[in-house]
Structure 1
Amino acid sequence: MSGMLKILLAEDDHDMRRFLVKALENAGYEVVAFDNGRSAYDRLREEPFELLLTDIVMPEMDGIELARRATELDPDIKVMFITGFAAVALNADNQAPKDAKVLSKPFHLRDLVNEVGKMLAA
Structure 2
Amino acid sequence: MIRILLAEDDQVMREYLARALERSGYAVSAVDRGTAALPLLNSERFDLLLTDIVMPEMDGIELAQKAADIAPDMRVMFITGFAAVTLKAGKAVPHARVLSKPFHLRDLVMEVDRMFEVGTATGL
Residues 89 and 96, structure 1, Cα contact 8 Å, conserved in 2:
no
TM-score norm. by structure 2 comes to 0.90
Q: CA deviation at 1:80?
A: 0.3
Q: Quote the residue 2:15 is aligned against.
A: 18
Q: CA deviation at 1:47?
A: 1.1
Q: CA deviation at 1:48?
A: 1.2
Q: Quote the residue 1:74 is aligned against.
A: 71
Residues 5 and 50, structure 1, Cα contact 8 Å, conserved in 2:
yes
2:115 corresponds to which letter in structure 1? M
Residues 64 and 95, structure 1, Cα contact 8 Å, conserved in 2:
no
Residues 51 and 120, structure 1, Cα contact 8 Å, conserved in 2:
no
Residues 68 and 95, structure 1, Cα contact 8 Å, conserved in 2:
no
Q: Quote the residue 1:38 is aligned against.
A: 35
Gaps of 5+ in 2: 119-124
Residues 21 and 33, structure 1, Cα contact 8 Å, conserved in 2:
yes
Structure 1 CA distance for aligned equivalents of residues 109 and 7 of structure 2: 16
Q: Quote the residue 1:110 is aligned against.
A: 106
2:105 corresponds to which letter in structure 1? L
- Residue-pair matches, total: 118
Q: Quote the residue 1:91 is aligned against.
A: 88
Root-mean-square deviation (CA), in Å?
1.6
TM-score norm. by structure 1 comes to 0.91
Structure 2 CA distance for aligned equivalents of residues 112 and 34 of structure 1: 18
